[in-house]
Every structure is written in structure tokens, then in C-alpha cells.
Amino acid sequence: MAKPTALPLARLLQLASPALPVGAFSYSQGLEAAVDAGIVRDRASAVRWVGDVAALSLARWELPLLARLITAWHAKDTDTATAINARFLASRESAELRAETVQMGYSLARLAAQLPIDGHESLEALEEPAFPTAYAFAVAAWSVPEREALVAYLWSWMENAVMAAVKCVPLGQTDAQRALLELGDRIEALVTESLETGEEAMAPSLPHLALLSSRHETQYTRLFRS
């Protein structure tokens, strides 16, 4: 019987760490525009915003695609990974949101080549790897279990969103930790939902988020790039 190893967990923690040099901290994914519009103004409204985007966008679109990307990279099926990558890029509804995932994906692909991660040439062959595509590649290369990878991806996204709220709402650090506790309680159910979501139920569109993201592109003052 094989001895369990903590290495995949350590690799996953590295991949989900805010110290990962992909520039996630510079993006708010529309949250800053929601603050400017008065939709997000305190901890309760920030939790509602982050929770809604997680439930209505990530769990129904980004995470199901991420799971499919992990499967494709495990099988070394570059054609399928490329097709899913194009599908995700096509779902980004504003220039900012598309630029965000392309910049972060490029940064992670470049890091994969510099570390290096085995097989990084397959990822580099993609013209514009989106961030979920690059993340899934690292997950497969490092033999990280799929469910744990989705949990870490969602947690990392939530943490980044709450830290953006700290800067632009603003929120205090204690309120931020309370928000993360509340949001963290939802992760198990959201990941389960995403793994059970079939093609017919996958929904990439959040029209209000797309509108706010578009408005952010011409917002008078900005802390974040999206």
C-alpha cells in the first residue's frame, strides 16, 4: 500500500497562495465598480456580492470548466484543453475581464516554464492561456486531487475579492475575516454543485456584472485593473 504524501497539498497551497506572482491582487473583477455605484458599501453587501458571483458565475461556469480542463491535461489532451480555453475566453464579457484572465494565465504559464513544471511546453503552445487553463495544467502536473484543486481555486478567488473590498469599500481586517468565515462555509456546497453541473446547466453570463465591468473601464478613479 502506497504511503500517503503531503507533497500534492504543499503544491496546491503554493498554487493558491496570494504570493503566487500572477498579479491577482491588482484585479477586483467588477467589485470596485459595484462600490462606486453604491451596491457594495459594507461587510454585509460585500459578502452578498462575492457570494452571488461565486454561486451564479464560478460554480455554474468557471469551476465546471476548470474540472474539465484538469481532466484534459491529465489525459495530455491539448486539443480539448485548447477548445475549453477558447470557450472560456469567449465568455469574458468586457475587455477588462478578458485582459485579466489572459494576463494571469500568461504569468502562470511563464512561471511554469521557469520553475520548471514538467510538460510546460504544452501550456506554452497555447496562444492565450486563460488563468483557469494554466491553473488546471499545474494541478494535473502536480497530481493534485480535482476536488481539492477546485476548493483552493474558489477560496483563492474569494480571498482576493475580500481583500479588494478591504481596500475599496473600505473594510477593516476583522470584518474581512468575518466575511471570509461566512463565505468559506459555502465552499463545500458550491464545489459539489460545480462538479455535478452538466453542459446544459452551465451558465457563463452575469449581465449586471458585465455592465459594471464595462463601466469600470472609464471610471474616474480606480485602484484596480478590473
| pLDDT tens digits, 4-22 | 578 999 999 999 999 999 9
3-state secondary structure of 213: helix
Q: CA 1 to CA 9: how far, in whole Å? A: 20
- List the chain domain ranges: 25-216
Q: What is the pLDDT of residue 2?
A: 47
**Do the Cβ atoms of 8 and 146 come closer than 8 Å?**
no
Query: pTM to 2 decimals?
Result: 0.96
pLDDT in tens, 121-174: 999 999 999 999 999 999 999 999 999 999 999 999 999 999 999 999 999 999
Question: Peptide bond before 18: cis, by omega within 30 degrees of 0?
Answer: no
What is the CATH topology of the domain spanning 25-216? Urease accessory protein UreF (1.10.4190)
pLDDT in tens, 44-100: 999 999 999 999 999 999 999 999 999 999 999 999 999 999 999 999 999 999 999
Amino acid found at 173? Q
Q: CA 74 to CA 164: how far, in whole Å? A: 33
3-state SS of 41-56 is CCHHHHHHHHHHHHHH
